[in-house]
């Protein structure tokens, strides 16, 4: 049994959760459930990123104090995480007093690597990111993610000296001591690392009042990413507590847009603190809506609550874990979602459960014959974080059972008076279904539990309403 610490990116609270935000939680939750099923002990962090200009200015636009606005939106994320049945163990808000104080301690420990200088360059408020001249030129002065012109900044900043860390970070990425997935992103990060100048880690208070004060300098506030990244260890109690039981994180889940912060900035901070780097950083693709990036200006932002209400939580988990590829950008449309629900959840699985349970009851099947197979392929995929592929594999088992039942035709065997044979066939099919439900457990925990409770019973009774009634 090992101890496993799983981390998710903490969203900004400058708006409501959208369906894209679900990805970090769902992937991390799938992994957490999988590791627990292997007997490992899991600690699992979630949280909200509440400082920075982006949150501050949206609060003002909404006519609320930034504290009230952040609290209100943080609560929405909390509610969302609960609705998704995410099995986290620790939740943090970056406005928590303990977090703020711990960040200041972290800053003090980093001081040997910090110097002050004037910054004269570009910034993207959408990314809350400093932008190099090279990036500025490549993107024609406009942030490709936020479609907003970069801002010109001329101000005093504190910097973290990258030369103190670059060689170590490169070595740890190259050797996979910090494994970056997928592989092509690892190459991208290695290239970026070479171009990364010293990292600006503060903003003048007159530019950014909503943040963690820099210890010993009233005029400066910590750059929001320093405060945000630190959450992964402050939530464990660092530096007040020894975190070596849980740190380094086994896996950090982040979107592709913020991978650089997790593979360059974060490692620099950790090395400055003499802490180990996360073992794996898994970067997922983005959820698109109708083939396009979701944006308020296009008006195609999909409300996750509406998706949850349409066919329930299990259908939500099903779509986002199977039809949204773990590593590549994938599309959500209501049509695709309804199709997946009706053709796959209702037809492939719901029907199978109903048919099998009905046949078992009719033929008085008791006893299950579990298949001997070991699902090596599934395990390999799960261990490589290829969750959508592992889900496909498990679903393949369900589809195979549908074929098997049609080939064996146990109802005809019964009609011909071959009752024992029919019972044999059925108990094998039930075994296959229970096996498939084990593989499905990290993705569809409720469905898996329902299948188990129906078929591992003294008497098999078909559910009064099918598992996924057709919509
Ligand atoms: N606050 C930072 C993260 C700090 S972590 C120390 C941030 N917040 S965010 O709200 O913009 O994004 C939170 C997470 O949601 C990120 O992992 C991001 O990649 C992910 N996603 C945001 N939009 C997404 C999609 N459309 N699709 C999938 N994931 C998306 O970045």
Phi, psi values for residue 72, rounded to 5°: -65, -45
Place of tokens 């979630």: 46
List the one residue out of 215, 19, 253, 263 whose CA is nearest residue 105: 215
- In the residue annotation, 293 being an active-site residue is answered as yes
- In the residue annotation, 143 being an active-site residue is answered as yes
255 lines ligand 1 (CB under 6 A): yes
254 lines ligand 1 (CB under 6 A): yes
Q: pLDDT value at position 244?
A: 98
Under 8 Å between Cβ of 162 and 130: no
Separation of CA 286 and ligand 1 centre (Å): 9
The dihedral region occupied by 118, where left means phi > 0, alpha psi between -120 and 50, and beta the remainder, is beta
Q: Ligand 1, atom 8: nearest CA belongs to which residue?
A: 11
Separation of CA 119 and ligand 1 centre (Å): 27
- In the residue annotation, 7 being an active-site residue is answered as no
- In the residue annotation, 146 being an active-site residue is answered as yes
List the one residue out of 354, 365, 357, 358 whose CA is nearest residue 419: 365
Pocket test for ligand 1, best of 12, 21, 331 (most atoms within 8 A of CB): 21
Query: Which entry of 18, 76, 418, 450 is annotated as an active-site residue?
Result: 18
Under 8 Å between Cβ of 351 and 314: no
Domain 334-455 adopts which CATH fold? Isoleucyl-tRNA Synthetase; Domain 1 (1.10.730)
Pocket test for ligand 1, best of 6, 19, 23, 92 (most atoms within 8 A of CB): 23
Rounded CA separation 416/427 (Å): 18
Q: pLDDT value at position 147?
A: 87
11 lines ligand 1 (CB under 6 A): yes
Separation of CA 205 and ligand 1 centre (Å): 26
Separation of CA 22 and ligand 1 centre (Å): 9
How does DSSP assign 288-354, residue by residue? EETTB---TTTT-PPPHHHHHHHH-HHHHHHIIIIIS-SSS-EEE-HHHHHHIIIIIIIIIIIIHHH
Q: Ligand 1, atom 2: nearest CA belongs to which residue?
A: 11
103 lines ligand 1 (CB under 6 A): no
- Locate the ligand 1 atom nearest the alpha carbon of residue 286 and give its number: 27
- Locate the ligand 1 atom nearest the alpha carbon of residue 285 and give its number: 28
Query: Which entry of 76, 156, 293, 450 is annotated as an active-site residue?
Result: 293
- Locate the ligand 1 atom nearest the alpha carbon of residue 288 and give its number: 26
229 lines ligand 1 (CB under 6 A): yes
Relative to beta strand 330-332, strand 287-289 is parallel
Query: Which entry of 7, 99, 113, 124 is annotated as an active-site residue?
Result: 124
- Locate the ligand 1 atom nearest the alpha carbon of residue 293 and give its number: 26
294 lines ligand 1 (CB under 6 A): yes
3-state secondary structure (DSSP) of residue 85: coil
Element (H, E) at 251: strand 251-255
List the one residue out of 41, 29, 18, 87 whose CA is nearest residue 443: 29
Separation of CA 255 and ligand 1 centre (Å): 6
Separation of CA 129 and ligand 1 centre (Å): 14
Phi, psi values for residue 96, rounded to 5°: -60, 135
401 lines ligand 1 (CB under 6 A): no
pTM reported for the whole predicted model: 0.96
Per-residue pLDDT of the chain (471 residues; tens, 9 = 90+): 899 999 999 999 999 999 999 999 999 999 999 999 999 999 999 999 999 999 999 999 999 999 999 999 999 999 999 999 999 999 999 999 999 999 999 999 999 999 999 999 999 988 989 999 999 999 999 999 888 999 999 999 999 999 999 999 999 999 999 999 999 999 999 999 998 999 999 999 998 889 999 999 999 999 999 999 999 999 999 999 999 999 999 999 999 999 999 999 999 999 999 999 999 999 999 999 999 998 877 788 999 999 999 999 999 999 999 999 999 999 999 999 999 999 999 999 999 999 999 999 999 998 788 888 889 999 999 999 999 999 999 999 999 999 999 999 999 999 999 999 999 999 999 999 999 999 999 999 999 999 999 999 889 999 999 999 998
Separation of CA 73 and ligand 1 centre (Å): 15
Under 8 Å between Cβ of 397 and 385: no
286 lines ligand 1 (CB under 6 A): yes
Q: pLDDT value at position 367?
A: 77
Pocket test for ligand 1, best of 26, 77, 258 (most atoms within 8 A of CB): 258
Separation of CA 396 and ligand 1 centre (Å): 31
Q: pLDDT value at position 146?
A: 86
User: How far apart are the two ends of the chain, measured CA to CA in Å?
Assistant: 43
Query: Which entry of 143, 262, 284, 397 is annotated as an active-site residue?
Result: 143
Q: Which residues in 143-155 are b (16+ Cβ under 10 Å) and which e? A: beeeeeebeebeb
Separation of CA 254 and ligand 1 centre (Å): 7
């Amino acid at each position: 049994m090992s101890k496993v610490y799983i981390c998710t990116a903490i969203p900004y609270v400058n708006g409501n959760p959208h369906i894209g935000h679900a990805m970090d939680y769902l992937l991390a939750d799938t992994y957490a459930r999988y590791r627990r099923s292997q007997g490992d002990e899991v600690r699992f962090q979630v949280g909200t990123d509440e400082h920075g200009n982006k949150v501050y200015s949206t609060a003002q636009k909404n006519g609320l104090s930034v504290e009230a606005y952040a609290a209100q939106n943080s609560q929405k994320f909390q509610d969302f995480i609960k609705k998704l049945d995410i099995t986290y163990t620790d939740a943090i808000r970056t406005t928590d007093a303990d977090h703020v104080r711990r960040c200041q301690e972290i800053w003090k420990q980093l001081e040997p690597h910090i110097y002050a200088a004037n910054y004269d360059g570009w910034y993207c408020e959408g990314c809350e990111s400093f932008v190099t001249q090279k990036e500025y030129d490549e993107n024609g002065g406009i942030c490709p993610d936020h479609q907003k012109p970069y801002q010109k900044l001329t101000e005093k900043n504190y910097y973290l000296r990258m030369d103190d860390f670059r060689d170590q970070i490169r070595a740890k990425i190259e050797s996979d001591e910090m494994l970056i997935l997928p592989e092509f992103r690892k190459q991208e990060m290695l290239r970026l690392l070479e171009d990364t100048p010293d990292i600006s880690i503060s903003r003048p208070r007159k530019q950014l009042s909503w943040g963690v004060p820099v210890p010993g300098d009233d005029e400066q506030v910590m750059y929001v990413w320093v405060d945000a990244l630190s959450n992964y260890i402050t939530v464990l109690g660092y530096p007040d507590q020894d975190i070596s039981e849980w740190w380094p994180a086994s896996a950090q889940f982040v979107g592709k847009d913020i991978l650089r912060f997790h593979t360059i900035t974060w490692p620099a901070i950790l090395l400055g603190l003499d802490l180990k780097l996360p073992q794996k950083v898994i970067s997922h693709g983005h959820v698109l809506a109708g083939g396009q990036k979701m944006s308020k200006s296009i008006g195609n932002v999909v409300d996750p609550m509406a998706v949850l209400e349409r066919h329930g939580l299990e259908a939500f988990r099903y779509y986002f874990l199977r039809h949204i590829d773990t590593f590549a950008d994938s599309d959500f449309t209501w049509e695709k979602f309804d199709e997946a629900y009706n053709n796959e959840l209702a037809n492939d699985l719901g029907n199978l459960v109903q048919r099998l349970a009905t046949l078992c009851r009719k033929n008085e099947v008791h006893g299950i014959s579990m298949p001997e197979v070991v699902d090596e392929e599934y395990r390999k995929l799960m261990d490589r974080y290829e969750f959508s592929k592992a889900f496909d594999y498990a679903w393949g088992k369900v589809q195979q059972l549908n074929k098997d039942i049609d080939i064996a035709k146990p109802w005809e065997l019964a009609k011909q008076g071959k009752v024992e044979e029919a019972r044999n066939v059925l108990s094998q099919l039930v075994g296959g279904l229970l096996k498939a439900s084990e593989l499905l457990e990290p993705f569809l925990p409720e469905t898996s539990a329902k299948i188990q409770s129906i078929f591992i019973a003294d008497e098999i009774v078909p559910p009064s309403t099918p598992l996924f009634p057709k919509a």
